[in-house]
Amino acid sequence: MFTSIAGRAVLVTGGSRGIGKGIASVFARNGAKVLITGRDSDVARAAAAELDALAANPGEVSFVQADVSSREDCRRMAAIAQERLGGIDVLCANAGVFPDSRLADMTEEMLDEVLGTNLKGTVFSVQACLPALARSGRGRVILTSSITGPITGYPGWTHYGASKAGQLGFMRTAAIELAPSRITVNAVLPGNIITEGLAELGEDYAAHMAASIPLRRLGSVDDIGYAALFLATEEAGYITGQTIVVDGGQVLPETLEAIAAAEGGG
């Protein structure tokens, strides 16, 4: 039995939709105080209300409008977390964008957008939360990276892959720098996860993608939320600078035939 995380102060960037909302939901359902962020305040407000209705301690989920690519917004979001939650024990640096662009067509603006949110946004979020995480005495930083970049590639995502691999480079040195403050820094690497955006593409699309995953299903946002929850527990306190791949085994097969061969073997 893991020690409860009830009452811990948790900030989830990009918690208004998708994986971030799933992470926020798992923490709220386990009794944490949760602050979510996003750029669109209407979406974030609605998500906070929805999450609060599921929370073990109602009244403890709220939102703040903030753009992680802005250092000033990150400072404001950390100040609001301090004021509203009484500190920050866990930062889930999750906000990310993944617009598609082939290398040949990629403009500097496209590159800046992806690196600005996914990589600089991660650095700005962690920097802004550092004093509060250090005061916690058991601060946890949990990054949402991806299998794309650190392990795999996908056409149209050179900039995205670079940003997600970059998060891991950042993580390894940050983990060493922050260890004296008893802050751990780890990352979850999701595979293909069903979010609102993916669900809109339809069941056929999801079934086609599931065929290349050994566990034969796409991941849920809860699958990522529980990996993040584990990294936030007391019991995971000796883990730092590490990654957890949550992908149903997607990166394992050498070829699609390997999956078919497993079916044949029972």
Residues labelled as active-site residues: 160
* Position among 69, 136, 186, 250 found at the interface with ligand NAP (CB under 6 A): 69
Region binding ligand NAP by CB under 6 A among candidate stretches 25-33, 90-98, 199-207, 227-235 = 90-98
Angle at which helix 18-29 crosses helix 221-232, to 10 degrees, equals: 50
C-beta of 87 vs 248, nearer to ligand NAP: 248
Residues 6+ apart with CB under 8 A from 43: 16, 17
> Please, are residues 24 and 8 in contact by the beta-carbon 8 Å criterion?
no
* Position among 117, 184, 186, 250 found at the interface with ligand NAP (CB under 6 A): 117
Give the whole-angstrom CA distance, residue 120 versus residue 94. Answer: 12
Task: Report how many residues bind ligand NAP under the rule CB under 6 A.
Answer: 30
Considering the rule CB under 6 A, would residue 97 count as an interface residue with ligand NAP? yes
Considering the rule CB under 6 A, would residue 40 count as an interface residue with ligand NAP? yes
Tokens 């690519």: give the residue: 69
Distances in whole angstroms, Cα of residue 247 to Cα of each of 153, 164, 208, 225, 235: 14, 15, 15, 13, 23
Site for ligand NAP in 46-65 (CB under 6 A): none
- Surface-to-core class of residue 50, CB atoms within 10 Å of its CB (0-12 exposed, 13-18 middle, 19+ buried): middle
Considering the rule CB under 6 A, would residue 42 count as an interface residue with ligand NAP? no
Region binding ligand NAP by CB under 6 A among candidate stretches 92-100, 202-210, 231-239, 252-260 = 92-100
Considering the rule CB under 6 A, would residue 16 count as an interface residue with ligand NAP? yes
> Please, are residues 129 and 68 in contact by the beta-carbon 8 Å criterion?
no
Residues 6+ apart with CB under 8 A from 149: 157, 160, 161, 162, 163, 164, 165, 166
Between β-strands 61-65 and 33-38, what pairing exists: parallel, antiparallel or unpaired? Answer: parallel
Site for ligand NAP in 130-189 (CB under 6 A): 144, 146
Angle at which helix 158-178 crosses helix 121-136, to 10 degrees, equals: 20
C-beta of 16 vs 186, nearer to ligand NAP: 16
- To ligand NAP, the closest distance from the beta carbon of 129 in angstroms equals 14
Residues 6+ apart with CB under 8 A from 112: none
Considering the rule CB under 6 A, would residue 95 count as an interface residue with ligand NAP? yes
Helix (H) or strand (E) holding 55: none
Considering the rule CB under 6 A, would residue 250 count as an interface residue with ligand NAP? no
Site for ligand NAP in 184-223 (CB under 6 A): 190, 192-193, 195-197
Considering the rule CB under 6 A, would residue 11 count as an interface residue with ligand NAP? no
C-beta of 11 vs 178, nearer to ligand NAP: 11
Residues that bind ligand NAP (CB under 6 A): 13-14, 16-20, 37-40, 43, 67-69, 94-98, 117, 121, 144, 146, 190, 192-193, 195-197
